[in-house]
Amino acid sequence: MRIIAGSRKGHRIEAPRGRETRPTGERVREATYTLIGPVDGTSVLDLFAGSGAMGLEALSRGAEHATFVENDARAAAAIEQNLEKLRLTGARIVRAEASRALAAEASSGRKYDLVLVDPPYDRYLELQPMLARYLPHVLAADGVVAVETENRVAPELPLEVLKSRTYGRARVTLFT
């Protein structure tokens, strides 16, 4: 797996082995960032970060800060290893369950210009009420939420749908 664009374009990133983590593929990552547009100077929240591929891509493309939320110890270690290998700064890793971390971010008053949401496909519908409750509170005024789900699932949040596209097994929906 490689970084698609930006200052670290072409650099390899590692993902934990096994089936617990499903990194967003290069094609879907590229398509997602094409939909999102420039991320220079933004603050990014990468929920269910896994290998951190989406947040790492944002940092490579000029994001100022990225918070990676990942509960799995091996995946969090992979994010840390990738950050060091790529010499990317402006990152924070939160090792916690996404619902707890998101609630804490909302209560702290932190706002993000870009929120990346890529939970396990089979858990999205159970997580949707929690996401609907907290995401509006962490999204900056002109911010965007990018949600990746299985292609048959159309996510619903109390935000305006900007775009929704399918790429093979994945659906990417942008909210504002």
pLDDT tens by residue, 116-154: 999 999 999 999 999 999 999 999 999 999 999 999 999
Q: Which two tokens stand for residue 72?
A: 């799995």
Of 135, 57, 131, 45, residue with least CA distance to 94: 45
For residue 17, pLDDT over 80 is answered with: no
Side chain identity at 164, as an amino acid letter?
S
Distance CA(122)–CA(20), nearest Å, equals 12
Task: Read off the pLDDT of residues 83-114 as tens digits, 9 standing for 90 and up.
Answer: 999 999 999 999 999 999 999 999 999 999 99
CB-based contact 149:170 (threshold 8 Å): yes
For residue 62, pLDDT over 60 is answered with: yes
pLDDT at residue 19 in the model: 53
How does residue 25 score in pLDDT terms, banded at 50, 70 and 90? confident
Q: Which two tokens stand for residue 55?
A: 């947040």
How does residue 20 score in pLDDT terms, banded at 50, 70 and 90? low
At the fourth CATH level, the homologous superfamily of domain 26-175 is Vaccinia Virus protein VP39 (3.40.50.150)
How does residue 65 score in pLDDT terms, banded at 50, 70 and 90? very high
**pTM summary value:** 0.95
Written as one string, the DSSP assignment of 119-153 is: --GGGHHHHHHHHHHHHHHHEEEEEEEEEEEETT-
Q: Pairing between strand 139-150 and 65-69?
A: unpaired
pLDDT at residue 164 in the model: 97
Query: Which range is least confidently modeled, 15-29, 86-100, 153-167?
Result: 15-29
pLDDT at residue 90 in the model: 95
Length of the chain: 176
